[in-house]
Amino acid sequence: MTRSGTTFATFARRNSMLIILIALYILVAFTARGFMSIDNQLNILRTIAVPGMIAFGMTLLIIVGEIDLSVGSMVAASACVLAWLVSAISGGAFEPGVWHVVAAGVLTLAFGASIGIFNGWLRNRFMVPTFISSLAMMATLAGLANLITDGTPIESFPSWYYFIGSGRIFHVPFPVYLLLIAFIATHVLANYTSFGRSVYAIGGNAEAARLSGLHVNRTRTWCLAITSLFAVVGGIVYSSLLNSGNPTIAKGMELEVISAVIIGGVSLFGGKGSIWGAFVGVLFLGVLLNAMTLWGFNPYAQQVVRGVLILGAVFINLIIDRPKASHG
Amino acid sequence: MAIALELRHLTKHYGSVKALNDFSHSFAKGQVHALLGKNGSGKSTFIKMLAGAVQPTSGEILVNGRTCNFAHPSDALKAGIVTVYQELSLVPHLSVAENIYLGRLPRHANTPFIDWPGLLRQAKALLDEMGAGDIDPAQPVSGLSIGRQQLVEIVKAMSLNPSILQLDEPTSALAQAEVQQLFSLVRRLRDRGVTIIYISHRLAELGEIADTVTALKDGHFTGSCPMADATPAVILEMMFGDITPVTRPPRPVAAGEPILSIRNLSVEPMLKNVSFDLHKGEVLGIAGMLGSGRTELLRAIYGAGPVDGGDILVDGKRIDNVSIPTMKRLGIGYTSEDRKESGLVQILSIHANLCLAAMQRFSHRGFVTEQRERSAVERQIQDLSIKIGSPALPVSSLSGGNQQKVVVGNWLNNTPRILLFDEPGRGVDVQAKQQIYQIIWSKALEGLSSIVVSTELEDLVECCDRILILRDGLITEEFVNDGLDPKTLYAACMARQTNP
């Protein structure tokens, strides 16, 4: 992230969270039993895979100056919609065909994207703040998940379906690959495309961006759709892990995702932040939660720590006025 | 006659810039004193010092014979000086009464509860007293016209019982009828012994309202006289002094088919029936005072603001869908008058800001790298002599002049055919301003057509081939710039149409 020739001090300022993450990692390595085992390391990565990739979408969204509070509900709703669609398309077969699942998956992705586009339309056409529309969507989608499942999980998936959530390639869980692909894709999008440049410009000053001829409305809508799509992918992973469409999953995940993004140094005022920073934030949260479990922390205390963490991260961001990580 | 306000050697320096220099003068009590000066003359600095918002570097302010030190705006209020700024400070959704007594709402005795009936009674009495009894104190301010809001603002100021009232361009946003109502209020206050410092760019209305005229020029006091003696010639002399006409290199007069034609353009309620042509390689100036609709005109042409009627033709072809993407595709660019609010993305780097408008040009199938943009960025930095450490620094680290060059460079990177400049010289030091006009001039020689809109008439005379006067929503006059005297322009801008 730094150019050659920058001093360590500048590096430290720009990557304060990375240094804190490394320090935490070393601390945990020496104090928590079993932390360093390969299985535990992979477990951390698998745990953060879903909130992580949603966080990458959320990073773009917050940089462009919007937010989506409905991602947790979207994970649950898309898992249920998918399970329901598989069941409907295959006619309730015990072992639905591959194409039944693929068709249901495509439809679920389209469903997710359309919710994002709808929020974008409300934002652009009627100036409804996404904070409000996504709050409404959070309740709506949670309700929808319960409605179509009638409160009980739908188990409609074929036997191979477990692989998406629990399968391993070279001993590494499949969702971890999804996380890495999502990271690379969003990182390239943010730094090496005119779309990504527009995201920063619009979040920094929407009027200046508009007068420079950038497509403000379109870019905002895309960011909303991308975030929704990542949430749908998260829903697919969770439905595979549980082998069902379960309306109770991912409760409160929006909080986890948004905290990771804030910890990663993305400004809630828009225009500032990076995918890399969000990745560091996601890793930090993952390592800390894993460590607290290994240390034997009370799970309720863990929630308190999370809350304190968000405040702490915001303060660190304000105090260390880091210059925006340069493009590329 | 009693002296309400006396200034002794009042001076304000901003670093090496002398905004106001050794201003000594006395203002008589119970009169309307017009204060004149072009932009940068020190007027605003003076008002702010009297309002306590800015502290003098040296010199004294005496109010009713007592020396005053205003460390804070509340000190000025205590001394009896209230200022009504050009930008209104009313809270739109609160009622007229609440706005008047904001922060001083009456309470029921010995309780923390607001006495609503009392508030309305008090406000009603005050409005009646000011001759604005037709304004309902219970009505939200947002439902009033701008002129009415201006009156409420003055009534609010009067609720503080000032002995000196400063009015900063109170009529700039008002229609004729509203101006008359404002004037009758001002006269009423004067007759009650309030001393009024009245700032206006509309010379024609001064005869109606002012008792004396005082002028500043480049931070210096240039004279004061009773209104009866202030002929337009005298006023212009005080404001401009002697001007040496600008000698400009001879250049071919732009001719041939117009590249851009505006026909009967109207934007309610500002512009009605504006028509003009722009030729290739021409620098066209549009002179208009605040509230003349100059910004609305440029934004309408660029597709960035509303249009209520009329046609825009590019290369003789009528444009049906006037929107920013369409106009940009046709090679038109627009630099806004407000760098901070709508010109630049302050938190992004200089590099990023130079590549906003040309983003599509620099990208290849949507992909773009700094490498690909670098040569264009460096060319602009060199061509426009933008003084910077590194293009990676945030644009907010630059001075106003250099920021303005970045705004221009951003558009030049998109190789436009027509550029619309809205106040390119605002908030920019003299040298940088000159450089920016040089740039416009030299690009014109390469074939770029420009429209420059400005209140600074000398600047227009310096860089434009032809100058149009925009007044009362119409193009009222046209001057071919051939050794033009800015005073002529000023007189043309200021003249007000006779009341119907």
Please report the sign of the dihedral spanned by the C-alpha atoms of residue A103, residue A109, residue A113, residue A116.
positive
Quick one: pLDDT band at residue A276, thresholds 50, 70, 90? very high
Asked if residue B252 belongs to a domain, the reply is no
Which of A192, A201, A212 lies closest to B368 in CB terms?
Answer: A192
pLDDT at B498: 38
Mean pLDDT of the residues in chain B: 85
**Which of these ranges, A35-39, B80-84, B490-494, has the smallest mean pLDDT?**
B490-494
* Domain-located, residue A23: no
Residues of B with CB below 8 A from A271's CB? 345, 347-348
Cis, bond preceding B269 (omega within 30 deg of 0): yes
Flag whether pLDDT at A1 surpasses 50: no
Measured CA distances, B90 to B101, B116, B148, B149, B179 (Å) = 11, 19, 12, 8, 19
**A269 → chain B, closest CA residue:** B347
Q: Judge if B40 and B149 occupy the same domain.
A: yes
pLDDT at A32: 85
Q: Are residues B286 and B423 in the same domain?
A: yes
Number of CB pairs, chain A paired with chain B, less than 8 A apart: 84
User: Does B368 sit within 8 Å of A194, measured CB to CB?
Assistant: yes
A215 vs B contacts (CB less than 8 Å):
325
Does residue A288 belong to any structural domain of this protein?
yes
Which residue in chain B has the smallest CA separation from A326? Answer: B392
Strands (DSSP E) contained in B200-306 are 212-217, 220-226, 258-267, 271-279, 283-287
CA distance B78 to B70: 10
Residue A45 belongs to a domain with what CATH number? 1.10.3470
pLDDT of B253: 64
Cα dist from A264 to A12, A16, A19, A56, A283, whole Å: 14, 10, 12, 11, 9
- Tell me which residue of A236, A281, A269 sits closest to A101, measured CA to CA: A236
H-helix segments, B218-334: 232-240, 294-302, 324-329
pLDDT value at A267 more than 90: no
CA closest to B392 among chain A residues: A326
**Looking at the structure, do residues B338 and B402 belong to the same domain, yes or no?**
yes
**Between chains, do B352 and A327 touch, taking CB under 8 Å as contact?**
yes
Do B211 and B294 share a domain, yes or no? Answer: no
Nearest CA of chain B to the CA of A165: how many Å? 32
Any domain includes A205 = yes
Residue A79 pLDDT grade (very low, low, confident, very high; cuts 50, 70, 90): very high
Q: Where are the alpha helices (DSSP H) in B355-399?
A: 359-362, 370-383
B152 in any annotated domain: yes
Domain termination residue (choose one: B225, B240, B255): B240
Q: How many domains is chain A built from?
A: 1
- Structural domain includes residue A170: yes
| Domain assignment of residue B286, yes or no | yes
From the DSSP assignment, how many helices (H) and strands (E) are in chain A?
Answer: 14, 2
Give the length of chain A.
328
Task: Of B211, B187, B172, B193, give the one whose Cα is nearest residue B131.
Answer: B187
Provide, as residue numbers in chain A, all residues whose Cβ is less than 8 Å from the Cβ of B359: 194, 197-198, 212, 214
Torsion sign (Cα): A23, A29, A35, A41: positive
How far away is chain B from the Cα of A204, in angstroms, using its nearest Cα?
Answer: 5
- With CA atoms as reference, the chain A residue closest to B356 would be A212
Range of the domain at B16: 3-240
Across the beta sheet with B81-84, the strand order is: B81-84, B164-168, B195-199, B32-36, B212-217, B220-226
pLDDT digit string, tens, across residues B43-74: 888 998 999 888 888 998 998 888 888 888 88
From the list B304, B360, B363, the residue facing A211 with the nearest CB is: B304
Report helix, strand and coil shares of chain B as percent, to nearest 5: 35, 25, 40
Percent of chain A clearing pLDDT 90 (strictly above) = 62
What proportions of chain A, in percent to the nearest 5, are helix, strand and coil? 75, 0, 25
| The residue to which tokens 């698998």 are assigned | A46
What range does the domain containing A294 cover?
Answer: 34-319
Q: What is the pTM of this model?
A: 0.80
**Residue B20 falls inside a structural domain:** yes
Residue A160 lies in a domain: yes
**B309 — contact with chain A (CB < 8 Å)?**
no
The alpha-carbon gap from B54 to the nearest alpha carbon of chain A, in Å, equals: 29
Using a CB-CB cut-off of 8 Å, the residues of chain B touching A208 are: 336, 341-345, 356
- How far apart are the C-alpha atoms of A223 and A116, rounded to whole Å? 8
What chain B residue is nearest to A204 in terms of C-alpha separation? Answer: B345
Task: Give the tens place of pLDDT for each residue, A99-124.
Answer: 999 999 999 999 999 999 999 999 99
CB-closest option in B336, B347, B370 to A211 = B336
Q: Which amino acid is at B487?
A: K
One domain, residues B315 and B226: no
Arithmetic mean of pLDDT, A21-33: 90
Contact B363 A327 (CB under 8 A): no
**Chain B residues whose beta carbon lies within 8 Å of the beta carbon of residue A197:** 352, 355, 359, 368
- Whether residue A218 is contained in a domain is answered as yes
Helix ranges (DSSP H) in B169-319: 176-191, 203-209, 232-240, 294-302
Query: Per the CB < 8 Å rule, is A208 touching B342?
Result: yes
Contacts of B367 in chain A (CB under 8 A): 192-194
- Tell which of B341, B342, B364 to mutate to test the A interface (max A CBs under 10 Å): B342
Identify whether residues B221 and B332 lie together within a single domain: no
Q: A43 pLDDT band (50/70/90 cuts)?
A: very high
Domain identity same for B134 and B35: yes
A2, A194, A210, best to mutate vs chain B, most B CBs in 10 Å:
A194
Chain B nearest CA to A302, separation (Å):
36
Same domain for B272 and B398, yes or no, is yes
Instruction: Give a yes or no: residue A28 inside a domain.
Output: no
With respect to residue A3, please indicate whether it lies within any of the assigned structural domains: no
Confidence band, pLDDT 50/70/90 cuts, at residue B396: confident
**Does pLDDT of A73 surpass 90?**
yes
Closest CA to A273 of A304, A313, A226, A214: A313
Same domain, B208 and B269: no
Whether the per-residue pLDDT at B317 is higher than 50: the answer is yes
Question: Residue B260 domain-assigned?
Answer: no
CATH of the domain at B232: 3.40.50.300
Q: Are residues B232 and B336 in the same domain?
A: no
Contacts of A207 in chain B (CB under 8 A): 341-342
**What mean pLDDT is reported for chain A?**
89
Burial class (CB in 10 A: 0-12, 13-18, 19+), A268: middle
Q: Quick count: other Cβ atoms within 10 Å of Cβ B488? A: 15
Q: Across the interface, which of B345, B368, B392 has its CB nearest the CB of A208?
A: B345
- Taking an 8 Å cut-off on Cβ atoms, the answer to whether A324 and B348 are in contact is yes
Q: Round to whole Å and give the CA distance between A82 and A44.
A: 26
Q: Please state the domain count of chain B.
A: 2
Residues B25 and B154 in one domain: yes
Which one of B347, B355, B370 has the shortest CB-CB distance to A328?
B370
DSSP state of A154: B
What letter represents residue B376's amino acid?
A
Phi, psi of B470 (to 5 degrees): -105, 115
How confident is the model over A177-187, as a mean pLDDT?
96
* Residues of chain B numbered 360-399 and touching chain A (CB < 8 Å): 360, 362-363, 366-370, 392, 394
Both structure tokens of A108: 């679920």
Q: Does any domain span residue B469? A: yes
CB atoms B410 and A272 under 8 Å: no
Which pLDDT score, from 0 to 100, does residue A118 have?
A: 96
Q: Are B127 and B137 in contact (CB under 8 A)?
A: yes
Distance separating alpha carbons of residues B346 and B348, to the nearest angstrom: 6
